[in-house]
Structure 1
């Protein structure tokens, strides 16, 4: 296994997420080590961390929080060193712009990428999924540069609710031609490579610049083929 990613559509750490997360954990041996980053839960990060720890321990994982909660924390060697003992990093949901501002060009993010390239799995839910793309949507402001782990891709979480609220056509119209916008349902992951859908919902792949914005739709258990330009 190398350079694996799981983009989760939101509502993490809930019972209906268990099949999805068990599939992710199954890539490791017994008691996989999960490190939860509750940064995006800006108003209640401790609660988000507790929920994640309790949830993953129920799934027989060893779960701990890495409380990188602000920009100074993202430069703290003591906190960054906690990332080493992880099989899976999990960005919890919350405020995507705040999460981006904490991690972008930070020592913590550099270390996560280094470890990810050495067979860790990097998962993010909602805000945590959004920041991993090349572009991130800031409602009312438009597109910003994300962390860029997935070039040419942007994430639309909570697809059933946000596709109409944020306006898929507006989002696509302001993306560079050829970009993929991945709409992901809650309790559902676009995971790979090789890419597949895990969980109870669906994944919707839109390509910017197409005459019709009709997405390619993939259900849980299906392999994902990205649409051609």
Structure 2
């Protein structure tokens, strides 16, 4: 599903100054009207004030960058069924999914008119941007053969055969969590753990790292880490 598309995935720190470099790099190659559609859906389980706060942070961030932006008020699956919300991403150059609850986000938008509108936008050249929960939903979808605990690694299948972890430098402080997740990566699959305030930009198989820390890549029996300015592949 990733062929010909562009993805910007962040481990944390959406709408902060550190991400301006990578966002401008993503916008440089994007097609659309030059705007960003901000989708704070993943934060809605924490309440309307949190949802509104993330949207406002996004607007302030892009105003400081001189980039037009708007909030897509998609709170739940019933909103995702509304054609008028799907139309809000039709011309955007970037569609930004901010952090919160990844499963809630995936269940809210998967298989809806909004999802169809997003896929159409990506196919015409818009950039998918996901931070934290937003990044996780880009992971491969279930094939019905996942091991116990594998739901942590699943998304909506935007990038086949690859799963993404976020806040990866902080996950190491949770006893046993990194090994638990690594044991559940499919042998023929890839896993990318993105540190906080770190991003990867690419086409789903070739990536470049931006930001403050590292991206850990596991696949084909090897585990490596890459810093800002370095590139890696999740194919072959």
TM-score range, shorter chain: 0.7 to 0.9
Residue 41 of structure 1: CA displacement?
Answer: 1.0
Residue 31 of structure 1: CA displacement?
Answer: 7.9
Residue 50 of structure 1: CA displacement?
Answer: 0.6
Residue 164 of structure 1: CA displacement?
Answer: 4.3
**1:111 & 1:30 partners in 2: Cα distance?**
14
Instruction: State the match for 1:217 in structure 2.
Output: 225
1:143 pairs with 2:155: no
CA deviations on 1:36-71 (whole Å, 9 max, x unpaired) are 000011221111011011101211110101111100
Contact 2:162–2:234, Cα closer than 8 Å, also in 1: no
Query: CA RMSD, aligned part only?
Result: 2.3
1:178 pairs with 2:188: yes
Residue 200 of structure 1: CA displacement?
Answer: 2.0
Q: Which structure 2 residue ranges, 5 or more long, are not aligned?
A: 143-147
Residue 25 of structure 1: CA displacement?
Answer: 2.5
CA deviations on 1:145-169 (whole Å, 9 max, x unpaired) are 4100111111110111014426122
Residue 135 of structure 1: CA displacement?
Answer: 5.0
Q: Which has the higher helix share?
A: 2
Task: Decide which moves more: 15-24 or 189-198.
Answer: 15-24
Contact 1:31–1:62, Cα closer than 8 Å, also in 2: no
Task: Decide which moves more: 198-207 or 111-120.
Answer: 198-207
Contact 1:34–1:87, Cα closer than 8 Å, also in 2: yes
**How many residues matched?**
220
TM-score (norm 1): 0.88
**1:158 & 1:135 partners in 2: Cα distance?**
21
User: Runs (4+) of structure 1 moved beyond 6 Å?
Assistant: none
Task: Decide which moves more: 167-176 or 78-87.
Answer: 167-176
Contact 2:91–2:121, Cα closer than 8 Å, also in 1: no
Instruction: State the match for 2:126 in structure 1.
Output: 120
Residue 76 of structure 1: CA displacement?
Answer: 0.5
CA deviations on 1:163-222 (whole Å, 9 max, x unpaired) are 4426122112123212211110122211112421122221110127x3xxx621111111
